[in-house]
Amino acid sequence: MFRIQECLEWGQLATFVPNKKLPVYNWFYYKEGFSRDLVLELIRMFNIKEEQTVLDPFCGVGTTLLASQESGINSIGFDVQPVSVFVSKTKTDRYDLNELKCWSKKLFSEKFEKPDISCQPPLVKKAFKKETLEDAVFFRNKIMFIPSEKTRNFLMLALMNSAVKASYIYKDGAVIKIRKKPVPPLRKFFQRTVNKMLRDLKNFQRKESKTFVDFGDARKLRIENESIDAVITSPPYLNKIEYSKVYEIEQKLFLDLFQEKPALRSYIGIDTDINEINRNLLEYSDSLPETLPPEAKPYFLDLIQVTKELYRICKKGAKLGIVTGNGCFPHTVVDSDIILCKIAKKTGFKVKKLLVLNKRWCTRDRTKKVGITRESLLLWEK
């Protein structure tokens, strides 16, 4: 039906780990991200040219967009999560270094005045030492009134990043845990982060290209028919993360006050009316296994909608690279990679190959092995 091939040597490329050492890419740690090298591999494999446009409809922290900028390719990114849109925008903007330096100097010369932190939400209060939270709120209040949006975003991202590192927050999958530990003083740490980000900007080479980032739902893209040359993306994995929960503290403390929030549902796969879901899935019933757990159905319904949208906006001959992971349930493994390829075929795409990048055990109660889950790269063409 289509070729399945192991390519385990690319396993790490499906993760954010290689980005941790890369300037600009590492301005915000995003566990759910993939690597710049995977995007560069796909740009090369798809032979994407400088005047062409790449889309990432689930852009996360902008890895596809940044790698496109480095390659001189135009790119469009959408995400439903405000933190992602903010980080992607800030990483892909082009800055006036002198203006940034001037404002950071001004910021660090401001005299500290203790802010009122009593109105902070309980989760935020628990996540920081009192002095750290006071510092964070003090700097945030100063940054909020910087007139230039770009400068404001740049400094706010530096502050957000430093504050999380100087907090008690520990992200364990979809859950935020609070672990008390010794933390570095925020002011010094923040200053170091700003200096590092300024150095990164000096060393990071972006070629001439257009980049567009905005809030948007991948199931209903604001893009013209047949206008996209390539798609490089990774949708949320089945039964994985409720993204808005994981980044709740960053959102509440640094973004809520000055960022407009979209009225979008921030998750793929949370519909509840099972009868309606079953009716809507009928058209694709031969792409879905009979053993599919009911809780997985809304997820595939949403991804059918996304696949149809991708088909609508892709030019004929467009290439798509999609990273996905299989679902682990107490009694079964759901092969999302194979199901998505079947959905793509039914929608009209040619499925060129399914490359298996990682294999892991799916376990129940941490010990009983249910089966093997794959993380795969799906290669399609319109």
Ligand X SMILES: C[S@@+](CC[C@H](N)C(=O)[O-])C[C@H]1O[C@@H](n2cnc3c(N)ncnc32)[C@H](O)[C@@H]1O
Interface residues with ligand X (CB under 6 A) are: 30, 32-34, 57-58, 60-61, 63, 78-81, 84, 217-219, 234-236, 243, 267-268
For ligand X, the closer CB: 61 or 288: 61
Q: Is 272 exposed, middle or buried (0-12, 13-18, 19+ CB in 10 A)?
A: exposed
Side chain identity, residue 151: T
Least separation in angstroms between residue 295's CB and ligand X is 17
Exposed e or buried b for every residue in 48-59, given b needs 16+ CB within 10 A?
beeebbbbbbbb
Give the tokens for residue 68.
Answer: 């496109």
- How many C-beta neighbours within 10 Å does residue 198 have? 16
CA-to-CA dists, residue 340 to 21, 280, 305, 352, 380, angstroms: 32, 16, 12, 13, 11
For ligand X, the closer CB: 33 or 189: 33
Least separation in angstroms between residue 92's CB and ligand X is 12
Strands (E), the chain: 4-6, 53-56, 74-79, 169-172, 175-178, 211-215, 228-233, 314-325, 327-328, 333-334, 350-364, 368-381
Least separation in angstroms between residue 264's CB and ligand X is 7
Least separation in angstroms between residue 299's CB and ligand X is 11
For ligand X, the closer CB: 78 or 154: 78
Least separation in angstroms between residue 87's CB and ligand X is 8
For ligand X, the closer CB: 28 or 128: 28
Least separation in angstroms between residue 234's CB and ligand X is 4
Closest C-alpha to 297, from 271, 323, 335? 271
Least separation in angstroms between residue 126's CB and ligand X is 24
Helix 149-165 vs helix 97-109: crossing angle, to nearest 10:
60
- Chain residue whose CB lies nearest ligand X: 60
| Alpha-carbon span 153 to 121, nearest angstrom | 23
Q: Is 177 helix (H, G, I), strand (E, B) or coil?
A: strand
For ligand X, the closer CB: 58 or 329: 58
For ligand X, the closer CB: 189 or 237: 237
For ligand X, the closer CB: 133 or 228: 228
